[in-house]
Copies of this chain bind each other. A is one copy, B any other.
């Protein structure tokens, strides 16, 4: 059994209104030292994988086909045996 931690975030050139909203809220709460916020998705996947390399390739396909929109988002993931 493997645990994949997937991080999906908008590409740097894509406008991120959610991040801007969070930044504004942090400023209103007194955290004026915050200069940029980018908001994305964090997904934990437990998978009955067949070896580390094959599981890594399967997770990459999941990201590409469903979890991220490759046009506007980039993704990365960590994989560990549990």
Instruction: Point out residues on A near B: beta carbons under 8 Å.
Output: 1, 5, 7-9, 19, 22, 25-26, 29, 31, 33-50, 58, 61-62, 65-67
Contacts and interface: CB of A to CB of B under 8 A. Distances in A.
Contacts of A40: 41-44
Number of this chain's copies in the complex: 2
Contact of A42 (B7, B35, B36, B45): B7
23 contacts: A7-B42, A8-B42, A9-B42, A9-B44, A22-B43, A22-B66, A29-B62, A29-B65, A29-B66, A31-B62, A33-B50, A34-B45, A34-B46, A35-B46, A35-B47, A35-B48, A36-B46, A37-B43, A37-B45, A38-B44, A39-B42, A41-B42, A42-B42
